[in-house]
Homo-oligomer: A and B are copies of this chain.
Amino acid sequence: MKKQHSRPNILVVNDDGITAPGIKNLIEAVKELGNVVVVAPDGPQSGMGHAITIGKPMRFNKVDLYEGVEMYKCSGTPVDCVKLAVNKIFKGKKPDLCVSGINHGLNNSINVIYSGTMSAAVEGAIEGIPSIGFSLDDYAEEADFSHCLKYVKSIAQQVLDNGLPQATLLNVNFPKGNGIKGIKICRQANAKWAEEFDERQDPYGRPYYWLTGVFQNNDKGEDTDVWALDHGYVSVVPVQFDLTAHHAIPLLNSWTFND
């Protein structure tokens, strides 16, 4: 893909909802790089993964939150937002870049698969748009994103200038606070959540359950996103949506099925 010569069109999405401070910071960071259009959920959609809305209809409305920024809210999921943006706003003329976030909370390692922020970026890539998801190691509503902004701009500019390899996108995570040592290109750490369910009783004596969990990383590799973040670096993981485990095909071909 060649360097952009006209002012690029940039689609901004997230999963924390259109009023989240994270998306406001992301808009600030990229609006100098191109024409920004924002399509974001009308409320929090964290943990929605790659969900789409197929059993019920969606609302989709223009809103006026930040001066000079074209913005739309959607009752659907983060992935729905990307689909609506491509179909109803850009109408087949794809944006030059899709950025998602900045998420309140990390999306490193296996979290890429649960994250609405990352799934929106994955959907951008499926649509053929160079796409990046950004996340910060701070779940707080009042999280400080200021130290992320120069990295967001620099990485977005690189992607606008160079494009991305076909069918890949970037998963970018920021450590909390200042003192970032630089950017590391990483692989996804092989870690997982150990779930616990907090069982409570409703006022009528019936049980209900809150999902909680502990993040368990047994991957000691120094080339992982977990390592980079633990050591003060911005982690950048190239992500793909071909889920085929190509290496397993020869083994499966050696199996004998009773068919």
Which residues from chain B contact A52 at a C-beta distance below 8 Å? 47, 49, 114, 211
Is the Cβ of B197 less than 8 Å from the Cβ of A50?
A: no
Most B-side CB within 10 Å, residue of A207, A243, A253 = A243
Tell whether, in the assembled complex, residue B190 and residue A242 are in contact, meaning their CB atoms are under 8 Å apart.
yes
Q: Is the beta-carbon distance between A252 and B236 smaller than 8 angstroms?
A: yes
A201-252 with Cβ < 8 A to chain B: 206-211, 234, 236-249, 251-252
Contact yes or no, B87 A197, CB < 8 A = yes
Closest beta carbon of chain B to A216's beta carbon, Å: 11
**A143 in contact (CB, < 8 A):** no
Pick from A57, A164, A237, A246 the residue with the most CB of B within 10 Å.
A57
Residues of B within 8 A of A183 (CB): 257, 259
- In Å, the complex CA distance between A73 and B57 comes to 25
User: Roughly how many angstroms separate A243 CA and B108 CA in the complex, as a whole number?
Assistant: 11
Tell me, in angstroms, the Cα distance from A247 to B240 when the chains sit together. Answer: 10
Pick the interface stretch among A26-34, A76-84, A96-104: A76-84
A241-B238 contact, Cβ under 8 Å, with A84-B209, A257-B183: no
**List of B residues within 8 angstroms of A47 by Cβ:** 51-55
Which residues on the B side are within 8 Å of A187 (C-beta)? 242, 244, 246, 249
Q: Report the contact-size class of chain A (Cβ under 8 Å from the partner).
A: 35 or more
B167 touches A190 (CB 8 A): yes
A241 CB contact (under 8 Å) in B83, B158, B243, B247: B243
List which A64-112 residues lie within 8 A (CB) of chain B. Answer: 76-77, 79-80, 83-84, 86-88, 110, 112
Is the C-beta of A179 less than 8 angstroms from some C-beta in chain B? no
Assembled-state Cα–Cα distance A240/B88 (Å): 33
In the complex, chain B residues whose CB is within 8 Å of the CB of A170 = 252
Q: Which of B83, B192, B197 contacts A195 (CB 8 A)?
A: B83
Contact partners of A77 in chain B: CB under 8 A: 51
Would you give 5 A-B contacts (Cβ < 8 Å), ordered by A? A58-B209, A113-B126, A185-B249, A238-B248, A240-B244
